[in-house]
Structure 1
Amino acid sequence: MIMQMRFVVVPAVPQTKEWLPRRLGFLSSLGEGYDLYDTQDKVRLSLNLPTRAQAEYECSCRNGCEVADDLTRSG
C-alpha cells in the first residue's frame, strides 16, 4: 500500500484575475511559478515559487523527507 503525500506541487494561479465572458472559455495562461497543495486540509498554499525544483524541495521538506533533513543538518 502506497501512502499519499500530504503536500503536492501544483501550477500557480494568476495573481491578477482575467475577466472574460464565459463564452470565451478558460484562462489564456496559468500563473508563473508553482504552489503547494495540502491534501489533508484541502487548501492551496500560495507560495508562488519560481521553479519546479524549488517547489519540489519545499514539498519534500514539508512532507518530512530525510534528504531535506540531512541537508539542513549538515549546513
Structure 2
Amino acid sequence: MVMQTRFVVVPALPEHRECLPRRVGFPQALGKGYDLYDTFDKLRLTLNFATRAEADYAAMACVAWVRNRARGVVVCCAEPMG
C-alpha cells in the first residue's frame, strides 16, 4: 500500500487571472514561485515561496508539524525544527 503525500508543491497561481474560454487551453503565464497543496483537506496554501527548495522544506515541516500534533506533542512555531 502506498501512502499519499499530505503536502505537495505546486506552481503558484498568477496574480491576475486570464479571462479566456476554456477551449483556448492552459494559461500563458504561471505565477512566480511555488505554493503548497494539502491533499487531505483539498486546499491550496498560497504561501508564494520563491524557490522549489524552500517549498519542499516547508512541505516537510508541515508534515512534521501534523505528525507531532497527532502524537500530542506541542511545538512552538518560533522554535527551530531540527
TM-score (norm 2): 0.70
Report how far residue 15 of structure 1 moved. 1.1
Q: Structure 2: how far apart are the matches of 1:25 and 1:45?
A: 24
Q: Which residue in the other structure is 1:50 paired with?
A: 50
Q: Structure 2: how far apart are the matches of 1:6 and 1:25?
A: 29
Q: What is the alpha-carbon root mean square deviation over aligned residues?
A: 1.9
C-alpha change, 1:28 and 1:73, in structure 2 (3 Å) is closer
TM-score (norm 1): 0.76
- Unaligned segments of structure 2, at least 5 residues: 66-79
C-alpha change, 1:5 and 1:30, in structure 2 (3 Å) is same
Matched length: 67
State the secondary structure of the residue aligned to 2:28: coil
- Unaligned segments of structure 1, at least 5 residues: 66-71
Letter aligned with residue 25 of structure 1: G
Which contiguous aligned blocks of 4+ residues in structure 1 show a shift greater than 6 angstroms? none
C-alpha change, 1:73 and 1:34, in structure 2 (3 Å) is closer
Report how far residue 3 of structure 1 moved. 1.6
State the secondary structure of the residue aligned to 1:44: strand
